[in-house]
Chains A and B, each alone.
Chain A
Amino acid sequence: MRRFSRSGTGVGALVVLVVIGLSSAFAPTLAPYDPSRIDLFNTLAPPSVNHWLGTDENGRDVLSRLMYGGRISLAVGLSSMFAAIILGSVLGALAGFFGGYVDSIISRVIDGMLSVPLFFFLLTALALFGSTLFNLVIVIALTNWMPVARIVRGEVTVNREMQYVESATALGVRPLGILFRHILPQSMPSIIVAATLGVAYAILTESALSYLGLGVRPPTPSWGNMLSDARGYIWQVPMLTVYPGAVIFLAVLAFNAIGDALRDATEPT
Chain B
Amino acid sequence: MTSYVVRRLVESLLLVLVVTMVTFALINSAPGGPSILLDPNMSPADTARLRTVYGLDRPVPEQYVRWLGQLVRGNLGFSLGVGRPVAELISSALPATLILSGSALALSLLLAIPLGILAAVKRGSWFDQLITSLSFMGLSLPVFWYGLMLIILFSVLLSWLPAGGMYTPGNEGSFPDLMAHLLLPTITLATVNLAQLLRYTRSAMLGVLKQDYVRTARAKGVHERNVVTRHAFRTAMIPVLTLVGILIPRLVGGAAVTESVFSWPGMGRLAIAAAFRQDYPTIMGITLLVSIIVVISNLVVDLLYARLDPRVTYR
Contact digits for B152-169, partner A, Cβ 8 Å, 1 yes 0 no: 100011000001000000
Alpha-carbon separation in the docked complex, A136 to B254 (Å) = 18
Residues of B within 8 A of A125 (CB): 26
Smallest beta-carbon distance B291→chain A, Å: 5
Stretch of B59-67, B105-113, B268-276 at the chain-chain interface = B268-276
The B44-92 residues at the A interface (CB cut-off 8 A) are: none
- CB of A123 within 8 A of CB of B272, answer yes
In the assembled complex, how far is the CB of residue A84 from the closest CB belonging to chain B, in whole angstroms? 17
Q: Which of A242, A249, A260 contacts B141 (CB 8 A)?
A: A249
Interface, chain A (partner B; CB < 8 A): 112, 114-121, 123-130, 200, 204, 207-208, 211-214, 227, 231, 234-235, 238, 241-242, 244-246, 248-249, 252-253, 256-257, 260
User: Which residue of the partner chain, among B139, B278, B290, contacts A117 with CB atoms under 8 Å?
Assistant: B290
The residue of chain A having its C-beta at the shortest distance from the C-beta of B18 within the complex is A112
Main secondary structure of the interface of A (DSSP, over half): helix
Q: Does B307 sit within 8 A of A, measured CB to CB?
A: no
Interface stretch, picked from B215-223, B228-236, B244-252, is B244-252
- Beyond A129-B30, A208-B142, A256-B139, is A234–B271 a contact (Cβ under 8 Å)? no
**Are the C-beta atoms of A128 and B145 separated by less than 8 Å?**
no
The residue on B at minimum CB distance from A129 is: B30
Chain B residues, CB < 8 A from A214: 272, 275-276
Identify A242's interface contact among B22, B27, B152, B163, CB under 8 A.
Answer: B152
Tell whether B148 is near chain A: CB-to-CB under 8 Å. Answer: yes
In contact, B260 and A249 (Cβ under 8 angstroms): no
Q: Which residues of B are in contact with A by a Cβ distance under 8 Å?
A: 15, 18-19, 22-23, 26-27, 30-31, 136-137, 139-146, 148-149, 151-152, 156-157, 163, 245-246, 249-250, 252-254, 256-257, 260, 271-272, 275-276, 278, 283, 286-287, 290-291, 294-295, 298
Q: Is the CB of B252 within 8 A of A119?
A: yes
A212 close to B140 (CB less than 8 A): no
> What A residues does B276 contact at CB under 8 A?
127, 213-214
A234 and B151 in contact, given A112-B15, A117-B253, A123-B256 (Cβ under 8 angstroms): yes
Contact assessment for A231 and B148 in the assembled complex, using a CB-CB cutoff below 8 Å:
yes
Contact yes or no, A256 B136, CB < 8 A: yes
- Within 8 Å by CB of B253, from A114, A118, A252, A260, lies A118
Known: A200-B140, A208-B144, A212-B257. A116 touches B15 (CB 8 A): yes
- Pick 19 A–B contacts, CB within 8 A, sort by A: A117-B249, A117-B252, A117-B291, A119-B254, A120-B256, A123-B275, A124-B26, A124-B27, A128-B30, A213-B276, A227-B145, A227-B148, A235-B156, A238-B157, A241-B149, A245-B149, A253-B136, A256-B139, A260-B136
Q: Closest CB of chain B to A115's CB: distance in Å?
A: 6
Shortest CB-to-CB span from B148 to chain A, Å, is 5
**Cα–Cα, bound, A195→B10 (Å):** 35
Closest chain B residue, CB of each to CB of A236: B156
- Contacts of A117 on B, CB cut-off 8 Å? 249-250, 252-253, 290-291, 294
Residues of A within 8 A of B275 (CB): 123-124, 126-128, 214
CA distance A137 to B274 in the complex (A): 22
Measured CB to CB, the closest approach of chain A to B218, in angstroms, equals 26
* A249 with B253, Cβ < 8 A, contacts A114-B246, A235-B156 known: no
